[in-house]
């Protein structure tokens, strides 16, 4: 691909707006910037698009969004399900409403009705809306927890989950076949006149909240303690503010304090460099308010409200950060345990997790006598399992989560839902308070029951073309040269998901992994430890996930630190 030629086309062709051409002319003397913007198309991957906002084929802009939508429209037309329409939501990021309308008007130009939310909404509500409205697909304009300069475009299919095979591959093929100048569009006035652009809002909101309320297990505990429990919440300038506060208020929590500096939507995310509830800085304002109010728990949702970060207070008044593995396990134990206690568990009940999620829940599933299902990283694969249960009329979804702070309670949505997680965690706080316990007490009880598992992650950011090559080199080295030990733990099995092989390192027996091909390696280690390595699907990073088991929480934490240091050394040697 001749990036200079494509750059010249964008600069000189009147098809592109004057604003776009001016932005590109401003970089005419910056060879590296031109190359970065035009060396390749912004990849339409299995989760859709995600990239830096700006002009160019490797950036997020109106033209790239229109091209993606035309490809999606072509696939829908081939499927002959265009009459069902497409639901569209967007978050608080820069250009999100504009990108939503670009997509809607492209669909309308192809005769496909767009149901567009009147204002920003969380990702899980878009997932819900697809099925609630009977749509063939959904589009969500969001870059989730990425830095402010990013935006993205997620595609959902009619089951409410992000696209999986065969739809993802076929849609990608359609998108690649489109030239940016070939995407169709019409005016909003024409789309409305033809009945192909419909604004949605309150009716879907009410239906979504009603589904969440059905999932409450111990309303009696909320009625008794909801007036006493103090909750600090921050939406991190994103979409969670209204739905999170609404559900907590409607089920009976009265002391909810929202961080004022982070309450209102703002795509510049002025109080954080990185609006991610996994990052400590995201909680600085919230923890300050929590100490002022003596809050029992502190919650943060990311900009599209599919991830939930948590701090809980112990009886000594100290706040503890719960990782995604910790909060997910705590919620899984509460939901499955209390479902069993109140109405019993179905014989075909299943707990679903991704391969990079804590093995603590393996023991939990065994304890409750439910099936444990492991899937590749990405919540869409959990959604795929729910769909399979429905199609086969066999299997009952009990809980699903991934280590990256995302879970789903219920099947109203088919993606991570931080709004329902917020509701459930506050309910759990009320339930444990009825037993004179804090959520931290419940966490320690869980470790005592299932073992002291500590899981963590190290990431290396490698941007640009050179970074991509380094990431590919790291993965190649790991696949071709399996280490004998990692951090003092012998490697027992090496799973290479690229070629569907799981190799016993002693016997050399090779078995299939049982999962689809993916650019991932996983090492089962002695003493219950493990390491998994994969490139991020949404950011220029390679991720090293790992877990250890200790004799106590302190012992496990020390083992984890030692393991993390060894991983960093391994990365340095590979670079």
Name which of 315-329, 342-356, 469-483 the model is least confident about. Answer: 469-483
pLDDT at 574: 76
**Where along the chain do its domains lie?**
1-37, 40-200, 208-325, 452-574
- Asked if 385 and 400 count as a contact pair (C-beta separation under 8 A), the reply is yes
pLDDT at 469: 80
pLDDT at 62: 98
Q: How far apart are CA 428 and CA 327, in angstroms?
A: 11
Output the average pLDDT for the chain.
95
Whether 176 has a pLDDT exceeding 70, the answer reads yes
Whether 47 has a pLDDT exceeding 80, the answer reads no
When pLDDT is averaged across residues 89-113 and rounded to a whole number, the result is: 98
Confidence of residue 442 (pLDDT cuts 50, 70, 90): very high
When pLDDT is averaged across residues 181-194 and rounded to a whole number, the result is: 97
- The contacts of residue 8 (CB under 8 Å, 6+ apart) are none
Q: Tell me if domain 40-200 and domain 208-325 are identical in fold.
A: yes
- Asked if 462 and 562 count as a contact pair (C-beta separation under 8 A), the reply is no
Name which of 297-301, 373-377, 481-485 the model is least confident about. Answer: 481-485
Decide yes or no: CATH 3.40.120.10 for domain 40-200: yes
Q: How far apart are CA 224 and CA 463, in angstroms?
A: 52
Per the annotation, the verdict on 144 as an active-site residue is yes
One of 96, 144, 404, 560 is an active-site residue; which one? 144
Whether 501 has a pLDDT exceeding 70, the answer reads yes
CATH superfamily, domain at 208-325? Alpha-D-Glucose-1,6-Bisphosphate, subunit A, domain 3 (3.40.120.10)
**Radius of gyration from C-alpha coordinates of the chain:** 24
Half-sphere exposure of 488 (CA within 13 A, CB side): 9
pLDDT at 46: 66
User: How many angstroms from the chain centroid is the CA of residue 531?
Assistant: 21
CATH ID of 452-574, from 3.30.160.110, 3.30.310.50, 3.30.230.10, 2.40.30.330: 3.30.310.50
pLDDT at 572: 80
Per residue in 129-170, pLDDT (tens digit) is: 999 999 999 999 999 989 999 999 999 999 999 999 899 999
Q: How far apart are CA 384 and CA 285, in angstroms?
A: 37
Confidence of residue 461 (pLDDT cuts 50, 70, 90): confident
Q: Which of 89, 101, 129 minimizes the C-alpha distance to 191?
A: 101
Name which of 39-48, 147-156, 501-510 the model is least confident about. Answer: 39-48
Q: What is the DSSP string of 457-512?
A: EEEEE--HHHHHHHHHHHHHHHHHS--SEETTEEEEEEEETTTTEEEETTT--EE-
When pLDDT is averaged across residues 32-39 and rounded to a whole number, the result is: 95
Whether 309 has a pLDDT exceeding 80, the answer reads yes
pLDDT at 538: 64
Per residue in 205-250, pLDDT (tens digit) is: 999 999 999 999 999 999 999 999 999 999 999 999 999 999 999 9
When pLDDT is averaged across residues 113-134 and rounded to a whole number, the result is: 98
Helix or strand (DSSP H, E) at 366: helix 360-368
């Amino acid at each position: 691909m001749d990036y200079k030629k494509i750059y010249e086309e964008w600069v000189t062709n009147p098809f592109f707006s004057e604003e776009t051409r001016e932005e590109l002319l401003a970089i005419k003397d910056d060879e590296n910037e031109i190359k970065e913007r035009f060396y390749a198309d912004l990849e339409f991957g299995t989760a859709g698009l995600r990239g830096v906002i700006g002009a160019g084929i490797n950036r997020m802009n109106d033209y790239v969004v229109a091209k993606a939508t035309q490809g999606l429209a072509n696939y829908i037309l081939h499927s002959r399900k265009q009459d069902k329409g497409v639901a569209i939501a967007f978050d608080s990021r820069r250009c999100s409403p504009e990108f939503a309308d670009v997509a809607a008007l492209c669909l309308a130009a192809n005769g496909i009705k767009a149901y567009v939310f009147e204002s920003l909404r969380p990702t899980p509500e878009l997932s819900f809306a697809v099925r609630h409205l009977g749509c063939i697909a959904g589009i969500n304009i969001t870059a989730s927890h990425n830095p402010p300069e990013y935006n993205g475009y997620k595609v959902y299919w009619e089951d409410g989950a992000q696209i999986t095979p065969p739809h993802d591959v076929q849609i990608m093929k359609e998108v690649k076949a489109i030239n940016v100048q070939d995407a169709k569009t019409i005016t909003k006035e024409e789309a409305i006149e033809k009945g192909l652009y419909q604004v949605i809002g309150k009716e879907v909101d009410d239906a979504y909240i009603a589904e969440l309320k059905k999932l409450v297990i111990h309303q009696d505990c909320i009625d008794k303690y909801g007036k006493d429990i103090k909750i600090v919440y921050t939406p991190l300038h994103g979409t969670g503010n209204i739905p999170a506060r609404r559900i907590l208020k409607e089920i009976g929590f009265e002391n909810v304090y929202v961080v004022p500096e982070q309450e209102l939507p703002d795509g510049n995310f002025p109080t954080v460099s990185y609006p991610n509830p996994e990052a400590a800085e995201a909680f600085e304002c919230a923890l300050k308010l929590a100490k002022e109010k003596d809050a029992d728990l502190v919650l943060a949702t990311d900009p599209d409200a599919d991830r939930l970060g948590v701090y809980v207070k112990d009886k000594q008044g100290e706040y503890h950060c719960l990782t995604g593995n910790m909060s997910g396990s705590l919620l899984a134990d509460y939901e499955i345990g209390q479902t069993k206690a109140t109405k019993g568990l179905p014989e075909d009940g299943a707990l679903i997790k991704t391969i990079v999620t804590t093995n603590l829940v393996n023991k939990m599933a065994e304890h409750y006598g439910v099936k444990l299902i492991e899937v590749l990283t990405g919540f869409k694969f959990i959604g795929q399992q729910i769909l399979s249960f429905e199609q086969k009329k066999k299997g009952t979804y009990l809980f699903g989560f991934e280590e990256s702070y995302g879970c789903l309670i219920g099947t109203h949505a088919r993606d991570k839902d931080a709004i329902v997680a917020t509701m459930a965690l506050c309910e759990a706080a009320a339930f444990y308070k009825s037993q004179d316990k804090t959520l931290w007490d419940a966490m320690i009880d869980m470790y005592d029951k299932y073992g002291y598992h500590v899981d963590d992650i190290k990431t290396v950011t490698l941007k640009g073309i050179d970074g991509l090559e380094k990431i590919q080199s790291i993965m190649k080295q790991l696949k071709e040269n399996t280490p004998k030990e990692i951090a003092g733990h012998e490697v027992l099995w090496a799973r290479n998901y690229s070629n569907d092989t799981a190799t016993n390192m002693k016997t050399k027996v090779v078995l299939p992994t049982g999962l689809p091909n993916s650019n991932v390696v996983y090492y089962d280690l002695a003493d219950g430890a493990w390491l998994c390595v994969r490139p991020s699907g949404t950011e220029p990073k390679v991720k090293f996930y790992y877990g250890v088991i200790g004799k106590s929480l302190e012992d496990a934490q020390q083992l984890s630190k030692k393991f993390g240091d060894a991983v960093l050394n391994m990365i340095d040697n590979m670079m």
